Amino acid sequence: MRGGPLLLLAVAACAPPRDVVPESHDVHGALPAAVGGYEYVAKRPLGVVAVAESRGLPHEVVASVADRLANQLDACAAHLAADGRLVSAAARVAAHIDRDGSPSGLALTLTPGPGPTANALLCFVSPFKLVHFPAADVDPAARGLAVEAAWGPEGAILSGPGHDAGSEAPR
């Protein structure tokens, strides 16, 4: 049966693309590294936050930060939606973690445009900058975090983090 594997490959190639984040509400937990490459994903009704990479930080801390950011993103998005100012967008923040536990050297990738940028700064970047990590006497380059988020009106989030955040976002 030589045509079997080729037929299976052809059928798989025709399948529609799958979301990086499985459909659900308020999901907490680690995903296998093979699923989109994310270390941890926290999905809420109006947004999703995923840890793309962490260095020198315990998993419990990383998961707690992602959950806190997801909760803040969802609350902020709900407030913006009530005012008619919520737009679908995505963002990525990468930072070193200083010895005192504060994020530094932020690298941002945002969906372009005034609406998405305003949403990102208010609902994702500012809360990230306020996160305080455990202090550690190590070189700040040894500790870091890259977090991605996507948000929009309920049902508008199609592919989770990175769908519009730029070329640096994993697919």
DSSP notation for the chain: -THHHHHHHHHHHHSPPPPSS-S-SSB-SPPPTTTTT-SEEEEETTEEEEEEEEESS-HHHHHHHHHHHHHHHHHHHHHHHHTT----EEEEEEEEE-TTS-EEEEEEEE-SSHHHHHHHIIIIIHHHHT--PPP-SS-GGGSEEEEEEEE-STT---S-TTSSS-TTS--
Residue 92 has pLDDT above 60, yes or no: yes
Please check whether residue 25 is in contact with residue 37, taking contact to mean a CB–CB distance below 8 angstroms. Answer: no
pLDDT band at 157 (very low <50, low <70, confident <90, very high): low
pLDDT digits (tens, 9 = 90+) for 17-75: 444 444 444 444 443 443 468 999 999 999 999 999 999 999 999 999 999 999 999 99
Please check whether residue 95 is in contact with residue 85, taking contact to mean a CB–CB distance below 8 angstroms. Answer: no
pLDDT band at 10 (very low <50, low <70, confident <90, very high): very low
Residue 85 has pLDDT above 60, yes or no: yes
pLDDT > 90: what percent of the chain? 65
- For the chain, the structural domain boundaries read 21-151
* The pLDDT value given to residue 17: 44
* The pLDDT value given to residue 37: 86
